[in-house]
């Protein structure tokens, strides 16, 4: 079955690609994407997550030949998916995993999952400033971050977005990468007379339902305490 680590990888991929998959003719919500993957295509998703784990394992990593064979095997399974939306979604996930450059997956006591993404995997014709030098995606418990840079050595800043409603959060989530790309491209143009290129990060934090979650956690602690006292 799906391990906790694989569930984290799968969640990160869905959050990363949600906006990209909705930038064309597709229309799939994040909840629908997660529900469909977990409900109908979990076996393929596990294979994709396992490939990611094995690619970057510090002591038992795959050879290039093994990696290519595994990619072809999973790609064959994805191509058999009848529903076009989910076939495209799974194929995009697999491509991102195959082309990922670095990750902190095996770093002890990390606070989130970081993936250095091949910028070509997120590119669209709308990106008129060209292909960035590097793209970093970070997935945390209640936050996601895109960092975009246009040269190896770049300078810029970070924007923290804290939407006040579910609707605003969904909109910012859909345009998360576009926002980071646009800000980095603007900064790159401003930096034209210095050695460093432009970069920007956008941290999207889910805060609109924080009080509800806090109340639910308090209720659970009280209930657990009551059950414990009852047992005693």
Which two tokens mark 96?
A: 């991102």
- The enclosing H or E element of 189 equals helix 176-190
CB of 19 closer than 8 Å to CB of 117: no
CA dist 65 and 67 (Å) reads: 5
Q: Using the 8-state DSSP alphabet, how is residue 37 labeled? A: H
Backbone angles phi, psi at 118, to 5 degrees: -65, 115
Q: How many residues does the chain have?
A: 232
Rg (CA), the chain: 20
Which two tokens mark 188?
A: 């790159």
Tell me which of 98, 200, 214, 223 is the catalytic residue.
Answer: 200
Residue 202's Cβ-count burial label (10 Å; 0-12, 13-18, 19+) is: buried
Please enumerate, as own/partner, the contacts of 84-87 that have beta carbons within 8 Å and a separation of 24 or more. Answer: 85/26, 85/28, 86/36, 86/37, 86/40, 86/41
Which two tokens mark 195?
A: 């050695």
Answer yes or no: 98 catalytic: no
Could you give the residue numbers annotated as active site? 200
């Amino acid at each position: 079955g799906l391990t906790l680590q694989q569930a984290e990888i799968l969640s990160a991929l869905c959050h990363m690609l949600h906006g990209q998959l909705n930038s064309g003719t597709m229309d799939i919500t994040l909840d629908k994407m997660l529900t469909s993957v977990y409900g109908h295509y979990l076996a393929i998703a596990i294979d994709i997550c396992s490939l990611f784990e094995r690619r970057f394992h510090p002591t038992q990593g795959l050879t290039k030949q093994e990696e290519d064979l595994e990619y072809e095997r999973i790609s064959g399974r994805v191509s058999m998916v009848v529903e076009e939306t989910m076939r495209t979604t799974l194929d995009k996930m697999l491509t991102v995993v195959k082309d990922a450059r670095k990750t902190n997956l095996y770093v002890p006591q990390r606070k989130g999952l970081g993936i250095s993404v091949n910028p070509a995997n997120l590119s669209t014709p709308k990106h008129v400033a060209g292909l960035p030098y590097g793209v970093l995606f970070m997935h945390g418990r209640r936050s996601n971050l895109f960092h975009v840079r246009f040269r190896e050595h770049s300078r810029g800043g970070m924007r923290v977005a804290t939407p006040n409603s579910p609707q605003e959060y969904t909109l910012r989530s859909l345009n998360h990468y576009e926002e980071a790309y646009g800000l980095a491209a603007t900064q790159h143009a401003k930096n034209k007379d210095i050695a460093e290129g432009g970069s920007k990060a956008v941290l999207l934090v889910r805060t609109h339902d924080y009080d509800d979650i806090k109340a639910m956690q308090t209720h659970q602690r009280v209930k657990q305490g009551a059950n414990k006292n009852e047992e005693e």
